[in-house]
Structure 1
Amino acid sequence: MDNKLVHHLLWERLRVGDQDAFFDLYKALYYDLVNFGIRVCGDAETSGEAADQVFISIWEKHEQLTRVENVHSYLRTFLKRKVLRILERKRKINDALTNAGAEGEWMEMSYEEFIVKVQTDELVRFKLKAALQKLTYRQKQLIHLKFFDGLSYEQIAEQTTQTIKTAYNTVYDAIKILRKELKD
């Protein structure tokens, strides 16, 4: 019997709560998933953590699982998403620690303060993203050129074939909109 069919049969047994099928599927695919995860993120520890979370999730939710034709591909996709979530969480924690360290507070910050800081940073990003949605395409483009690429108004005008005054006014109007949206 080929592996694809074996994995499919194990999956179907797992869906009805067969622990032996779960462990057999784990043994059959765990190391392959970890190796795939290493290729995705370049870190064995993160990959192993993600693979563990994948198998924990499928066992905890085995009753809600749907039929899957290619279990191996399904689990690879699931693993890739887990790896990305873990990396994002680690990045947020690292950013919060770096920002706190830069302010000289990290030694004094309690766990609760740290969590509030991470959540506050996420809220600010969410508000900024929502505020940016209020801008026109041209306003977003010019804001990016001015503040992310660091171009002068002269360079922006040259690059976008606008006058310097139009570039300045467009950026000014965009900043007014952002201030209004972020104030609320």
Structure 2
Amino acid sequence: MSIQEEKGKTLWSEIKKGNKIALSTLYNDHFQTLYEYGYRIYHDKELVEDCIQELFIRLWSKRESIQIRGSIKSYLLVSIRNAIFNEVKKSEKFFPISQEEVQLNFKVDYTVDSEFFKDHLQDDQITKLLEGFNKLTGRQKEMLYLKFFEGMSQEEVADIMGITVKASYKLSARALANLKDLMGISAPLLLSILEYWKRV
């Protein structure tokens, strides 16, 4: 178990005991991750921020009944994804849209208040990576983002995206193959690049 996962479990244990400072710490630790992921799903800053606020209000009010079996980060990502889709459904009730349509807008770039690429903006590989990445389908982009940019396990990615583990492996393999072709590089080189960013 990573240090982050261990800290998350400790904080959740304290939250269940009624520790508001632990809730605040959990919020501060994960706000940026939730915001960046949420904003990439749906480009509405206010809606995403409201969903994050509601998520933590729910965590506090339902803390005694909520059961978190995996990592707290995985639970929060699942929750924010579902919350955003539910809010979009409400706001688009006169013009119904599906999750697939929302996911078409999923994008990774330099513009979501992220420090992710801060020290590498001149790197040609990053330019090629992002150009290729954003030509993938929405589901493929989300898959690789969660797996490599957020460092989630294949099982966690499947849980977050609401698909089976088997389907997640197929989607991951297809996304990597497409990205490799779009970047014009070998599979081993692509994996080494993505594994590097997983460690940033």
TM-score calculated relative to the size of structure 2: 0.44
Which structure ranks higher in relative contact order (CA pairs < 8 Å, sequence separation ≥ 6)? Answer: 2
**Which of 1 and 2 has greater Rg?**
1
Q: Pick the structure with more helix per residue.
A: 1
